[in-house]
Amino acid sequence: MISLKSAEEIGLIRESCRIVADVLKVVGARVQPGVTTLELDKLAEEYIRSMDAVPAFKGYGWDKNNLFPATLCTSVDAEVVHGIPSNRVLREGEIISLDVGAKKNGYYGDGAWTFAVGSVSEEKQRLMQVTQESLMLGIAQASAGNRVHDISSAVQQYVELNGFSIVRDLVGHGVGKKLHEDPSIPNFGEAGTGAALKNGMTLAIEPMVNAGTWRVKIAQDGWTVFAADGKPSAHFEHTIAIVNGNAEILTQS
């Protein structure tokens, strides 16, 4: 069931989202060759807790024997999402997706950004640019009276027009008192279909775009999702609220 939020609730989600935006800004500034993903994770957790919030991802999951162990998802190159921070050292020319959630006052915020590690190839630069632009085109469709798949179609068409592929196994979602709420927001679909968009909806829109095939696999850790052909992937995500008919980006830095 889709939950429509009051102005007060959107204000609380906005606060959590502001923390998410600040984390991505602070941690993103530390992305460089020689840094470990575990160092980035520690910085993110320290910042979130300093804001009287808690990391949304740490301890999250359906399998009680394999809950997510970290604050950040750190996904490098062919890793699409849910990469687990470790002593892995970032290398020049890689790209890394940082996905983070924060919970404060009972409400969640969620966002992601892909960063270049030093100087990267033209293909990776274009992959990141197209993914980010597809996110903004999807957000532009998140207005009252439209449908969920208007968002999906806008993302898919732009990505495929530029020669990349949309991951189909993973989707965006509602956000609020839970990290993942209805509706699901796929990054592919037919315009004019799906649930009606209404004022009060709070949505995490998150294109995951692969340079090669859209097909993915899951690593033995049970979390890390990677492109089946080993080619690079990019991921950008904003949480938005539909207010006065239009999308307001809550995770804007």
- Give me the mean pLDDT over the 142-154 stretch: 98
pLDDT value at residue 7:
98
Provide the percentage of residues in the chain whose pLDDT is more than 70.
Answer: 100
Which of 105, 112, 146 is closest to 242 using CA atoms?
A: 146
Tens digit of each residue's pLDDT (9 = 90 or more) over 86-135: 999 999 999 999 999 999 999 999 999 999 999 999 999 999 999 999 99
Helix (H/G/I), strand (E/B), else coil: 97:
strand
- Give me the mean pLDDT over the 18-45 stretch: 98
Q: How many Å apart are CA 49 and CA 112, to the nearest integer?
A: 19
Would you state the torsion angle of the CA atoms of residues 19, 4, 136, 60, taken in this order, to the nearest 10 degrees?
50
- Give me the mean pLDDT over the 192-209 stretch: 98
Is the full-model pTM beyond 0.85?
Answer: yes
Residue 202 has pLDDT above 90, yes or no: yes
Helix (H/G/I), strand (E/B), else coil: 171:
coil
Domain boundaries, the chain: 7-249
Q: Which fold has domain 7-249?
A: Creatine Amidinohydrolase (3.90.230)
Q: How many Å apart are CA 172 and CA 42, to the nearest integer?
A: 26
Residue 186, preceding peptide bond in cis (omega within 30° of 0): no
pLDDT value at residue 214:
98
Residue 253 has pLDDT above 90, yes or no: no
